[in-house]
Amino acid sequence: MFLALREIRRAKVRFGLLIAAVGLLVFLILIQQALQNGLLTSFVGAIERQSAPVLVYSVDGQKTLQGSVVTPDLQATIEGVDGVGASGRLGQRTFTGTIDGGDEVDIALLGYDDPKLGAPEELASGRLPEGPGEAVGSATDFAVGDRVVLLDSDGQAATDLEVVGTADDVQIQVTPTLFAAWDDYEGAALAANPDATAVLPNAIALRPADGVTDEQLVARVNDASDEADALTRQQAADEAPGVAQVRQSFQVIFLLYGLVVPLVTGLFFLIITFQKAGALTLLRAIGARAGTLVRSLLVQVLIVVGGGLLVGIALYAPLSQAQVGSIALRFDVGAVVFWSVLLLVLGLLSALASARRVLRIDPIEATTGGGNR
């Protein structure tokens, strides 16, 4: 410990620059992680955080809520499956509308029969709708008390909704999102498409009966009809089109970042070991144990990587509360812990080449001048 700190004090600029470099890399990793999570949440947060544990699409919908249409016959088949405890219609459409009289924007509206089967599972503020003309909105886009007007096919005001509650991370398709009772949803859909005679649900939301797991109910529904595509809530979010591709793209970035940190750290300490080979050889000649020198090296790695982690997290914390367009970022404790442990382990492993060189030092070389070999 003494040797490690003494050397760091003597080369403050050199070690400080390395800590800053590692800190910048950690910051970039954590921000990329926050962007990935925020982007995925903006795509499928409404599905992942609604209250129904099982969703059933039509097979033709390709696991897309808005692209699926459940016919009355298919709905009857689904609801007749053994193990269904409760069921309700779930619909989703995108409308043009205004918020508090502002400019026209696209607004996604989800309609449900039962708040326990399709409404947001948790609210950030306010309450769930209790009557007609009320809705819960995504907290990123709405505030309690906002008035939302959805337009009809002629661009005229048709459906007036008051936001009575907000929920975090419940957007869908990166669009301002509202949840309302089925009657309000149906009215808005008919106003936007006056030629329609009925509004069919895009999915059937299910809750298993007592003693039946979500997975068991999914299997039973899929066995009951080839036209049904039943998924647990998490599966519906994970298997939505585009989600896997986004995750794969970010994983490549994370892999590159994960390799850069140990490579930079390992190369730095290897160069340092070469530069101070004479001093290390002299220390060995006067009785310093190889294990002591290796421990000093590992302490320096821990200080550099640990310091870099602190710098990176300090930079990440304020920016993780920001909003990028319509994408809300969040401070992810799990990501911080995961990357901290991983980078510390990789940093220590990267120092193995330097440690092996220290262990190979022969004290006799102090008298023969071979310390730089």
Report the mean per-residue pLDDT for the chain. Answer: 85
- pLDDT confidence band for 276 (50 / 70 / 90): low
Number of structural domains in the chain: 2
What is the C-alpha separation between 361 and 224, in angstroms, rounded?
A: 72
CA distance 44 to 66: 12
Residue 293: is its pLDDT beyond 80? no
Name the residue with higher pLDDT: 79 or 2: 79
Identify which has the larger pLDDT, 256 or 167. 167
Cα dist from 313 to 15, 70, 254, 372, whole Å: 19, 47, 16, 39
Tell me, yes or no, whether 213 and 87 share the same domain. yes
Same domain, 183 and 260: no
Give pTM, 2 decimals.
Answer: 0.77
User: Smallest Cα–Cα separation from 273: which of 240, 253, 301?
Assistant: 301
User: Which of 238, 269, 297 is where one domain is finished?
Assistant: 238
What is the distance between the alpha carbons of residues 18 and 304, in angstroms, rounded to a whole number? 7
Residue 320 confidence (pLDDT): 84
* End position of a domain, from candidates 209, 238, 267: 238
Q: How does DSSP classify residue 161?
A: E
In a shared domain, residues 9 and 153: no
- The most confident of 3-7, 26-30, 231-235, 326-330, by mean pLDDT: 231-235
pLDDT of residue 88: 95
pLDDT score at 284: 55
Q: Is the dihedral of CA 334, 141, 91, 174 positive or negative?
A: negative
Per-residue pLDDT, 371:
46
Q: How, if at all, do strands 134-138 and 157-167 pair?
A: parallel
Listed in sequence order, the residues at least 6 apart from 140 whose beta carbon sits closer than 8 Å to its beta carbon are: 168, 171, 176, 323, 326, 328
Angle between helices 12-48 and 333-350 (to 10 degrees): 140
For the ranges 69-83, 191-205, 258-272, the maximum mean pLDDT occurs at 69-83
Q: Decide if 143 is inside a domain.
A: yes
Specify whether 217 is located in the same domain as 260: no
Identify the top-confidence range among 17-26, 85-94, 243-252: 85-94
Cα–chain-centroid distance for residue 81?
A: 34
Examine the domain organization and report whether 291 and 209 are in the same domain.
no
Task: Tell me if 201 sits within 8 A of 175, measured CB to CB.
Answer: no
Token pair for 141:
């886009």
How confident is the model at residue 142, as a pLDDT? 94
From 60-64, 191-195, 272-276, the region with the lowest mean pLDDT: 272-276
Residue 152 lies in a domain: yes
Which of 30-34, 36-40, 255-259, 291-295 has the weakest average pLDDT?
291-295
CB burial class (10 A; 0-12, 13-18, 19+) of residue 302? Answer: middle
Please identify which residue in the block is written with the tokens 């899929």.
Answer: 222
What's residue 251's pLDDT?
85
Q: Tell me what the mean pLDDT of segment 201-228 comes to.
A: 94
Is position 373 within any domain? no
165 and 74 within one domain: yes
Lowest mean pLDDT among 9-23, 130-144, 199-213: 9-23
Indicate if the alpha-carbon torsion angle 137, 138, 140, 144 is positive or negative: positive
In the predicted structure, residue 297 carries a pLDDT above the cut 80: no
Do both 33 and 56 map to the same domain? Answer: no
pLDDT for 197: 83
Residue 26 lies in a domain: yes
Predicted pLDDT at 114: 92
Q: What is the mean pLDDT of residues 112-140?
A: 93
Q: Does residue 160 share a domain with residue 79?
A: yes
50 with 17, same domain? no
**Same domain assignment for residues 230 and 280:** no
Return the percentage of the chain with pLDDT > 90, whole number. 46
Q: Is residue 181 part of a domain?
A: yes
Q: Please, which pLDDT band fits residue 253 given cuts at 50, 70 and 90?
A: confident
- The whole domain housing 309 covers 2-43+243-368
- In a domain, residue 137? The reply is yes
Burial class (CB in 10 A: 0-12, 13-18, 19+), 223: exposed
> Distance between CA atoms of 306 and 343, rounded to whole angstroms?
9
Cβ–Cβ < 8 Å for 7, 18 = no
pLDDT at 121: 92
Does the pLDDT at position 30 exceed 60? yes
* Shared-domain flag, residues 31 and 54: no
At 372 the pLDDT is 46
The domain boundary residue, chosen from 208, 238, 268: 238
Residues 89 and 225 grouped into a single domain:
yes
pLDDT at 241: 84
